């Protein structure tokens, strides 16, 4: 059967990722997109303090099953990213870049030192009333990656003299970014061109991830692959029907070069509020952009680069238009999805598309709630997920259940 008309296939293994990957063939997957434990003991979860993210042997298994030139994208925590990146490099990967996902919805996990002093001294703090948190829903709770917390909280004053001295001091900042390691398995051929032609891996899908104008980004069809794409790298429109992935309308798109900064909507709004409305110059249709040209400040152009016709330059708006902005659907977690660290599906779609070649297979050795698998399916790729938690495996099966009904 012609692979171009097949629906994307997904497979879920329940078990330890190292043991499962040992059963996978060498050079059998095209990309790896994953969100391993940050090793912080988050919410008291045992799986977040095993040290697996620092395990060089685990990353060597990832390296083995990945095709030569294949890319890895792995999320990390700001406090522990360095150890994960070192393990990835020690396993044999080349570190190519570090992406930063910036978001505005992080919840501060700081210990109030003044309150801690009063508690240790057995002092009862006088109440000053109550206040409500920002961005709460009608039920009085705000939901985020860390679960739900009460929107209304008590305001108290320090009791002990020492607590007065340390009132307003804490132990942590509000989280607003997560680093993402971009690494590549060394090429097996002498040149990148030869490697791509033999293995189909080695490059990034730049044109498929161009940053569209905001109004264009909201339209269907920007940078989506089709299963019946006639040649690698071709762009295609979005599927007309979510249950039918065979009919696509090719589209020619322009956009700004992808950056290593990714934003959520809240971060984009805050950036635009600070930058105000900016106007970009318009690049000439032919010739070179030189340092002395009046167009030298056009974003994405630099001295000596030949300019090409584009509809993007000459636009205006906030600074966020230079970066990819992932929108999060309120319903994308799925009913009953209690996993504490669910990533936005649109964000994962973008990352999967960035490093996976047409008709490729994506591996996620830490599948969690299955967002990588869902993103791969939406982008037209096969996927393999590994998850050791039976509860999370059930969440994945429920989220992917619509595929089995096709």
Please check the confidence at residue 158 and state whether its pLDDT lies above 90.
yes
b/e burial code for range 181-213 (CB count within 10 A of at least 16 → b): bbbbbebeeeeeeebbeebbbbbbbebbbbbbb
Give the per-residue pLDDT at 287. Answer: 42
The 10s digit of each residue's pLDDT in 217-274 is 444 333 333 333 333 333 332 333 333 343 333 444 567 889 998 888 888 888 888 8
Q: Could you give the CA distance from residue 45 to residue 79 in angstroms, rounded to a whole number? A: 17
- Give the residue, 136 or 374, on which the prediction is more confident: 374
Cα separation values, 303 from 19, 211, 307, 352, Å:
51, 21, 10, 32
- Mean pLDDT over 41-64 rounds to 80
- Tell me the DSSP string of 7-37: PP-EEEEES-HHHHHTTSPTT-EEEEEE---
Give the per-residue pLDDT at 325. Answer: 83
- Give the residue, 72 or 274, on which the prediction is more confident: 72
Residue 82 binned pLDDT confidence (cut-offs 50, 70, 90): very high
CATH fold, domain 3-105+176-280+315-404, is Rossmann fold (3.40.50)
Residue 288 binned pLDDT confidence (cut-offs 50, 70, 90): very low
**Cβ neighbours of residue 268 under 8 Å, at least 6 residues apart?**
318, 320, 323, 325
- Give the residue, 259 or 406, on which the prediction is more confident: 259
3-state SS assignment for residue 96:
strand
The 10s digit of each residue's pLDDT in 162-191 is 999 999 999 888 888 899 999 999 999 999
Give the per-residue pLDDT at 293. Answer: 46
Mean pLDDT is highest, among 27-31, 107-111, 320-324, 375-379, for 27-31
Please check the confidence at residue 10 and state whether its pLDDT lies above 90.
yes
Q: 154 - beta bridge partners?
A: 130
Give the per-residue pLDDT at 355. Answer: 97
- The pLDDT mean for the chain works out to 76
- Give the residue, 150 or 244, on which the prediction is more confident: 150
Please check the confidence at residue 278 and state whether its pLDDT lies above 80.
no
- Tell me the DSSP string of 106-157: -------HHHHHHHHHTPPPPEEEEEE-TT--TTSEEEETTEEEESEEEEE-
Cα separation values, 270 from 132, 265, 273, 340, Å:
21, 9, 5, 25
Please check the confidence at residue 202 and state whether its pLDDT lies above 80.
yes
Give percent of the chain with pLDDT exceeding 70. Answer: 66
Give the per-residue pLDDT at 183. Answer: 98
- Mean pLDDT over 28-52 rounds to 78
Give percent of the chain with pLDDT exceeding 90. Answer: 44
- Give the residue, 34 or 40, on which the prediction is more confident: 34
- Tell me the DSSP string of 32-66: EEE----SS-GGG-GGGSS-GGG-HHHHHHHHHHE
- Mean pLDDT over 186-213 rounds to 93
Please check the confidence at residue 336 and state whether its pLDDT lies above 80.
no
Please check the confidence at residue 396 and state whether its pLDDT lies above 50.
yes
Angle at 357 between CA 355 and CA 361, to 5 degrees: 90
Give the per-residue pLDDT at 41. Answer: 55
Give the per-residue pLDDT at 144. Answer: 40
102, two tokens:
């910036």
What are the residue ranges spanned by the domains of the chain?
A: 3-105+176-280+315-404, 113-165
CA-based nearest residue to 388, from 9, 45, 56, 2? 45
- Tell me the DSSP string of 160-216: SHHHHHTTT--S-PPP-EEEEEEEEPPPSSSSHHHHHHHHS-S---TGGG-B--HHH
């Amino acid at each position: 059967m012609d692979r171009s008309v097949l629906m994307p296939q997904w497979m879920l293994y329940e078990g330890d990722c190292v043991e499962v990957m040992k059963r996978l063939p060498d050079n059998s997957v095209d990309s790896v997109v994953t969100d391993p434990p940050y090793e912080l003991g988050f919410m008291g979860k045992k799986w977040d303090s095993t040290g697996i993210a620092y395990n060089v042997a685990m990353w060597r298994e990832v390296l083995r099953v990945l095709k030569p030139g294949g890319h890895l994208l792995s999320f990390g925590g700001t406090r522990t990213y360095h150890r994960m990146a070192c393990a990835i490099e020690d396993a044999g990967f080349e570190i190519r870049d570090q992406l930063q996902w910036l978001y505005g919805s992080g919840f501060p996990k700081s210990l109030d030192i003044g309150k801690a002093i009063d508690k240790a001294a057995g002092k009862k703090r006088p109440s000053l009333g109550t206040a409500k948190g920002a961005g709460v829903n009608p039920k009085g709770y705000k939901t985020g990656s860390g679960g739900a917390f009460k929107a209304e909280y008590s305001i108290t004053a320090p009791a002990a003299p020492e607590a007065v001295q340390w009132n307003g001091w804490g132990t942590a900042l509000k989280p607003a970014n997560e680093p993402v390691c971009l690494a590549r398995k060394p090429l097996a051929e002498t040149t990148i061109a030869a490697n791509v032609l033999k293995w189909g891996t080695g490059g990034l899908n730049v044109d498929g991830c161009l940053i569209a104008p905001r109004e264009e980004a909201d339209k269907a069809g920007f940078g989506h692959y089709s299963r019946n794409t006639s040649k690698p790298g071709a762009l295609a429109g979005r599927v007309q029907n979510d249950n039918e992935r065979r009919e696509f309308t090719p589209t020619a798109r322009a956009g700004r070069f992808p950056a290593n900064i990714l934003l959520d909507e809240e971060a984009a709004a805050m950036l635009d509020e600070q930058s105000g409305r900016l106007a970009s110059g318009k690049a000439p249709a032919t010739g070179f952009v030189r340092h002395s040209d009046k167009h030298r400040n056009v974003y994405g152009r630099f001295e000596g680069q030949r300019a090409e016709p584009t509809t993007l330059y000459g636009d205006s708006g906030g600074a966020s238009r230079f970066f990819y902005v992932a929108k999060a659907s309120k319903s994308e977690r799925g009913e009953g999805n209690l996993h504490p660290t669910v990533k936005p599906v649109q964000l994962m779609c973008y990352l999967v598309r960035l490093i996976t070649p047409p008709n490729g297979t994506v591996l996620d050795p830490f599948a969690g709630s299955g967002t990588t698998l869902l993103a791969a399916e939406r982008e037209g790729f096969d996927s393999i997920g590994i998850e050791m938690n039976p509860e999370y495996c059930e969440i994945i099966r429920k989220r992917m259940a619509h595929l089995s009904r096709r």
